[in-house]
Amino acid sequence: MYQPLKRCLATVASPSAEGSAVNAIKAALLLTRQPIVTPDLTELEKAYFNYQEELERRLMWTFPHYYYFKKGSLSERRFIKAQKGPVSNQPNILFEKGEPDVVHNRERRLKQEVRIPKEEYEESSMSDISRPVVPNSRITDADRANDITSLERALPRTLHLLVNENNKGWKLPSFALAQGTTLHRAAESGLRELGGDDIHTWTVARSPAAVLKYEHGKLVAPDANSDKLEREFIIKSHILAGAFKPQNLEYAWLTKEEVEERVSKDYFEATEFLFSRV
């Protein structure tokens, strides 16, 4: 399928133009921090999951507590005490919300609410293994301070590293190719020259994810062809540990929407599909 295209492009590259072409190649790096917590639910998802759960609970069998608690034990007594028993049916009484239908101490028309007996905790036993589980907040200090250089912000989202070199506008960090080096090596070593060695990354692939073509410093279409093109091949990589700490360089870890706010319009159009929506 791609045979004709390959051949027509093969004729474009002439040996004489090769030397100048390599100089015009840069390696850009799309460095991402993967989400640390699960995505936030949308309103529709929340409502739908709640509806499904209620349906499931309504159709659930009666909880067989006699199987889980030994008869006559203290824990059984505590469990039974915590339950709010159903209203039993009485003859000659009008029940506003329908006649009760109780079997095995469960109202069959409604979902069964099984209550777990609450235990009392003392402050002194907070190091105890039975202490209540308090989850950490999904909103971090970096979120509250709106610190866009922090890796601990926007935990449910994928963050992308963008730099603003000499106030020329936000873009992905890009590095010139030294003689004899390859794209992925140039991208990774360039990142370390810029932001220090204290960073642990994992290159997704050696092959580029996209190419950006510039003519006289302006973005052109990805299928444009000319001798004066400057090319940026984008290599994908994940940050696993460490941090990007450059000297005198404005940088930010941004979600896709924030990227859209900062980069120029044609740059975002050319790279939009590379940024993760999650």
Partner 1 sequence: MLTFPIKSQIATLSRAVNGSTNTKYLISSLPLQFARGKRTKRTVTVSAGTQRIITQLSVISARKKVPRVLKLSNEDLIRHDTVQRAWTLFQREKRQQQDEQLSKQYDSIINALEDLKAVAPELYAVANKKEKGKRFPLEARIPVDYPPNKIWYYDVAKDESK
Cα separation, 80 vs 107, in Å, equals 16
Question: Quick one: which of 156, 172, 161 has its CA closest to 278?
Answer: 156
In the block, residue with structure tokens 């319009």: 265
Interface with partner 1, residue 241, by CB under 8 A: yes
Q: Which is nearer to partner 1, 115 or 200 (CB)?
A: 200
Interface with partner 1, residue 264, by CB under 8 A: no
Cα separation, 69 vs 81, in Å, equals 13
Q: Which is nearer to partner 1, 249 or 274 (CB)?
A: 274
Beta carbons within 10 angstroms of residue 102's beta carbon: 14
Residues 208-227 that bind partner 1 (CB under 8 A): 208-211, 222-223
Among 3, 4, 16, 64, binds partner 1 (CB under 8 A): 64
What track of x and - describes contact with partner 1 for positions 162 through 201 (by CB under 8 A)?
--------------------xxxx--xx-------xxxxx
Shortest distance (Å) from residue 167 CB to partner 1: 28
Interface with partner 1, residue 132, by CB under 8 A: no
Cα separation, 58 vs 273, in Å, equals 43
Interface with partner 1, residue 60, by CB under 8 A: yes
Shortest distance (Å) from residue 21 CB to partner 1: 5
Burial of 53 (0-12, 13-18, 19+ CB in 10 A): exposed
8 A C-beta contact, residue 213 and residue 219: yes
From residue 67, how far is each of 71, 102, 125 by CA, in Å?
A: 9, 20, 31
Interface with partner 1, residue 58, by CB under 8 A: yes
Report how far apart the first and last C-alpha atoms of the chain are (Å, whole number).
33
8 A C-beta contact, residue 37 and residue 156: yes
Cα separation, 54 vs 60, in Å, equals 10
Cα separation, 171 vs 184, in Å, equals 18
Interface with partner 1, residue 238, by CB under 8 A: yes
Among 40, 56, 101, 113, binds partner 1 (CB under 8 A): 101
Q: Binding-site residue total for partner 1 (CB under 8 A)? A: 81
Shortest distance (Å) from residue 251 CB to partner 1: 16
Shortest distance (Å) from residue 192 CB to partner 1: 8
Interface with partner 1, residue 46, by CB under 8 A: no
Interface with partner 1, residue 113, by CB under 8 A: no
Dig out the tokens for 96 from the structure: 């506003």
Interface with partner 1, residue 257, by CB under 8 A: no
Interface with partner 1, residue 56, by CB under 8 A: no
Shortest distance (Å) from residue 73 CB to partner 1: 14
Interface with partner 1, residue 240, by CB under 8 A: yes
Query: One-letter amino acid identity for 172?
Result: L
